[in-house]
Structure 1
Amino acid sequence: MALASGNAHTLALTESGKVFAWGQNRQGRLGSPEGLDEDGAPLIRVASPVEVVGLPGDAQVVAVSAPTLTSHAVMSDGRVFGWSEGKSGQLLRGEDIGDGTFSPASESVSSPVELVGLPDNVIDVKGGARWAATLTADGDV
């Protein structure tokens, strides 16, 4: 079990590995269709916990992180999923320029996406205002 709080949203990891979210849902921080209005736009605030939808069922969530504007979940097999704002690269989505630089995608993601390109033995993720870092079982950051 774990609890993580961001700027205005909270994630709760249950013993069974489910993740629930509540609070401000700007940019889709809650990762749930229950946090959307009838038109599919994110609700400003969700006072009751809603289950995060879209995390894979083939591994259990072992850690959550709710940095300022993004949400992350670490799976028991070392994969990391994220959702919400990614315009600074927190979701590892965008274009590899090819010269060692990266141009992050500007759109927010309202359901979990796998962060590709990370080591396969991640055990934790932390973040802040527009950044994220992972810790591997080997102690690498």
Structure 2
Amino acid sequence: MSLAITAGLLIAGAVYLFLRREMLRVILGFVLLGHGVNLILMAAGGASRRAEPLGTGLDPTRVADPLPQAFVLTAIVIAFAITIYLLVLAVAGNQDDDTLEPTGPTGHDGHDGNDDGRLPPDAGPADPSVLDSPAMADGGRG
């Protein structure tokens, strides 16, 4: 019973982290999901009713099933490789990461959320000579 509760908590934590938008939290969620699935695979092998994989007497009723253990070992290797790949993507794509939650009314990058590239109405120009340009004659609408 405790194995099922632990696996459920790990998978619930993974789903919670997947719902966050930051890349690092998604990676940590993937790691938790991998651990939870590994526990489920081990529980499928009958962890409570079996002995060690290679017992002393090799009695088939007492020896643990090696197939779930092989699945878990394969899943550990695959999860490790995918985690490394996701970490490399997180580091390499850090400059383009727009998945952070906005920190204020204008967002984390100072824009008001409009996709037209204009600044919010209360933001002044960075260079006063911009006001004299022909593009600003019609209110900056191009």
* Superposition TM-score, scaled by structure 2 size: 0.20
RCO comparison, higher one (Cα < 8 Å, 6+): 1
State the TM-score, normalizing by the size of structure 1. Answer: 0.20
Q: Which has the higher strand share?
A: 1
Higher helix share: 2
Greater CA radius of gyration, 1 or 2?
Answer: 2
